[in-house]
Chains A and B, each alone.
Chain A
Amino acid sequence: MNNKHVAVIGGGIAGMEAASVLARQGLKVTLIEKQANTGGKLNDWDHLFPDFSSPDELVNSLANKTKDSGVNTVCNTEISRIERNGKRFELRANQDVRFFADAVLVASGFNVFDATIKEEYGYGLFGNVITSVDFEKRMKKHGQLHTIQGTAPKRVAIIHCVGSRDAKVGNTYCSKVCCITGIKQAIEISEMLPDCEVFCFYMDLRLYGSKFDSLYLQAQKRHKIQFIRGRLSEAAERADKSIQIKAEDTLQGRPLRMTVDMVILLVGMEPGVSTSQLIQKNQMTVDENGFLKSANMHCARNQSTQEGIFMTGTAICPMAVNETLENARSAATEIIHFFENRRP
């Protein structure tokens, strides 16, 4: 098995973790990243849920692991085609760069939902409507939150399910991580600006993970975050740049209008664009949501429908950071089994 070569497409946390596990098992691993640095979307995040830990620390430790385990990391290289040649694969990238591998692991991640598609929420039109990703970037860069007028917001509305569970945008699935992200960001705002009122507009709070519900309790008890069960119908900018929002408080059965200083849209996860290009050219199949389809959802989650091509992380479905890392280790195990069971 030691002479086998695995090519990992995507240097986000899933690709990094899987690559280092495979390399530590003695395989030759090439980790291919299209950006200048590994770490993927986590490079933009400020804090992780549910423990408010640092994404930078996580990315750094993964980078050290890949380096120490002997992974060959290649950045600025985007794979556009995987070709099967007998039992081997030839991967083609830009500028005629080629890689050869005995197995391929696709860890190409997700795309963030483009909130301008939900035009009625005013993203891209009104300066005080931002996304949860913008929030992370701003906090990372400036360490503070302010309105477009430069003032500290006194009232913030956090909107759940933007681009998720919505047939109008073609995404009927749940992105899973937005509910807890909203609660995390609500607590962060409340800690930073104790006088700021924060409202979360939700349909169902899907707090499936370990410690997620205790964070919800903390948000209500300690931070007085208000949770209103109702989906936003629209947002409108007022003359003073504040945002008027409309929803129904469905537990009261009453329509509700409210003016807030800022709106944060919890944008969901979508299948990655680069994934879709790979799929078209390699006959890999996707599930009903457009994510890569597993050979078997239960016992071969990381196997694609093409032999020798595996996948991991949010290329399969929306998942949280800890799940992504677990999934990466599971993908590494499946690849090792694949080589062990294969006749020479």
Chain B
Amino acid sequence: MYSDLNQRLKADVRLEEGLQACMNCGICTAICPAAEFYEYDPRSIAITVQSGNEEKIAALLQSDTIWYCGQCMSCKTRCPRNNCPGLIISVLRKLSQETGAFIKSRMGRQQYLIVKTIGANLLQFGYCVHPTSLVPATHPEQGPVWRWIYENMQEVYASVGANLDGDGPGALRKISDKDLDELHQIFEVSGGLKLYQTIEYFSQRKAIELGLTDPNGEADMEKYTQYLLNE
């Protein structure tokens, strides 16, 4: 599962852009917002990938580390060698998803939730986040104001000039079936759908490993979702 990682990383064109030669100066970590809050050090990630050490790269793919990056790309603006650790992270994440290494870490396992929410929203609504999908019961962190907005959705969005689920132009307008079909095709051709399936496949295996199964011994993804939310 974790063989030829170096070669697979280098096959991604983003690595060519992201890692030319790192001199370990730490300016990326110094500008990185994530590094201020987490045990996270983009410099050491760049050095690990540059070292080509298969064991260390495999460990990265299975770690929480690669999921802390917010993809703000501040690192790109500073690097004196024109590297971009944010892009290195993108490549590591994709490989972690493809190899199933993501199920080995708590942050990595969240990929399943993201596919089921943002991933599904994209294909269903044409929006990453849609007002109707942000249900107060599953998003208590949004607080009482959000609950009020959610319950008075039509009036609230109309009052700010949005065109929620309506035909024609405007923010939050309904995306036509024709456009959604095109979006679906893009995800199919570009490998996005396959990546969704891969994430689901490995997540099901993790659910079984954890004993989160139905009476037939199949993965119970409702239970797994609850597990992830409480993890």
Tell me the A residues contacting B by CB distance below 8 Å. Answer: 120, 161, 165-168, 203, 229-234, 246-250, 253-256
- Assuming A230-B25, A231-B25, is B35 touching A255 (CB within 8 A)? yes
Residue of B23, B31, B41 touching A234 (CB-CB under 8 A):
B31
**A233 touching B78, Cβ below 8 Å:** yes
**B79 touching A168, Cβ below 8 Å:** yes
Tell me the bound Cα distance from A246 to B79 in angstroms: 14
Closest to A166 in B: B80
**A248 touching B41, Cβ below 8 Å:** yes
Residue of A165, A230, A246 touching B80 (CB-CB under 8 A):
A165
* A-chain residues with CB within 8 Å of residue B81 when the two chains form the complex: 167
* B-chain residues with CB within 8 Å of residue A256 when the two chains form the complex: 30
Q: How many pairs, one residue from A and one from B, have CB atoms within 8 Å of each other in the complex?
A: 63
19 contacts between A and B (CB under 8 A): A120-B78, A165-B80, A166-B80, A167-B79, A168-B78, A203-B23, A229-B26, A230-B30, A232-B27, A232-B30, A233-B27, A234-B30, A246-B31, A247-B26, A248-B30, A249-B26, A250-B26, A250-B29, A250-B43
Closest to B29 in A: A248
Residue of B23, B24, B31 touching A233 (CB-CB under 8 A):
B31
**B29 touching A167, Cβ below 8 Å:** no
Tell me the bound Cα distance from A248 to B29 in angstroms: 6
| Residue B49 interfacial (CB < 8 Å) | no
Tell me the bound Cα distance from A159 to B45 in angstroms: 25
Interface 0/1 of B71-90, CB less than 8 Å to A: 00000001111100000000
| Residue B124 interfacial (CB < 8 Å) | no
Q: Apart from A167-B79, A203-B24, A248-B29, list 10 A-B contacts with CB within 8 A.
A: A167-B81, A168-B80, A229-B26, A234-B31, A247-B26, A248-B35, A250-B25, A253-B43, A255-B32, A255-B35
Residue of B36, B41, B80, B82 touching A231 (CB-CB under 8 A):
B80
Residue of B41, B43, B80 touching A167 (CB-CB under 8 A):
B80
Tell me the bound Cα distance from A253 to B24 in angstroms: 11
Closest to B41 in A: A253
Tell me the bound Cα distance from A246 to B29 in angstroms: 9
Q: How far, in Å, is A51 (CB) from chain B's closest CB?
A: 30
